[in-house]
């Protein structure tokens, strides 16, 4: 990282390939040289969602924590949006809705819109998108509403 890349272009002069036509990236003035930027390594925006799955009673509320890293000064402010849930039925808020370089943490609050007496089990997926000037990263949160544990019947002989 931080090591300049030097290029030399070669053009042959016919059948003899004497190599008399060389052009270096160090030639002439720096203002006139073409620039080549190479991105090497990890993705610019990295998202870590904790936890990835939450259990929620009907009418209840839960939270996810989203850690955003890899935000560069060139990326600027990263906007975070979440939702809508699939299937519909969750109210979702993101606080704060934006993160500055070098990154930070965002809380995603999820509230079920059903009455507390609703008894059906539903699995929701919530898309979470972080968008900067140059990059976009996506992750998915899962909410299981009214989870139930099924016990197999016990047979006693």
**Better-scored residue on pLDDT, 120 or 26:** 120
Query: Mean of the pLDDT values across residues 131-139?
Result: 88
Domains and CATH numbers, the chain: 46-145 (2.60.40.10)
| Residue 76: pLDDT band with limits 50, 70, 90 | confident
**Better-scored residue on pLDDT, 142 or 24:** 142
pTM: 0.67
| Residue 1: pLDDT band with limits 50, 70, 90 | very low
Taking the mean position of all CA atoms in its chain, how far away is CA 155?
49
Query: Mean of the pLDDT values across residues 131-156?
Result: 81
Query: Mean of the pLDDT values across residues 73-77?
Result: 78
One-character DSSP codes across 126-140:
EEEEEE-SS-EEEEE
Query: Which residue in 46, 60, 64, 69 sits closest to 89, CA to CA?
Result: 60
Query: Mean of the pLDDT values across residues 110-133?
Result: 91
Query: What pLDDT score was predicted for residue 5?
Result: 60
| Residue 4: pLDDT band with limits 50, 70, 90 | low
């Amino acid at each position: 990282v931080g090591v300049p890349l030097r290029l030399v272009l070669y053009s042959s002069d016919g059948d003899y390939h004497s190599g008399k036509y060389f052009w270096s990236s160090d030639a002439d003035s720096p203002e006139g040289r073409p620039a080549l930027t190479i991105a090497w390594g990890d993705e610019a925006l990295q998202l870590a969602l904790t936890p990835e799955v939450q259990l929620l009673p009907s009418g209840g509320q839960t939270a996810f924590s989203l850690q955003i890293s890899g935000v560069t000064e060139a990326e600027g402010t990263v906007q975070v949006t979440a939702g809508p849930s699939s299937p519909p039925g969750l109210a979702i808020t993101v606080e704060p809705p934006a993160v500055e370089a070098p990154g930070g943490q965002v809380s995603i609050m999820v509230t079920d819109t059903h009455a507390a007496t609703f008894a059906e089990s539903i699995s929701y997926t919530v898309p979470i998108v972080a968008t900067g000037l140059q990059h976009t990263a996506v992750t998915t949160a899962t909410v299981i509403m009214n989870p139930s544990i099924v016990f197999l019947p016990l047979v006693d002989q």
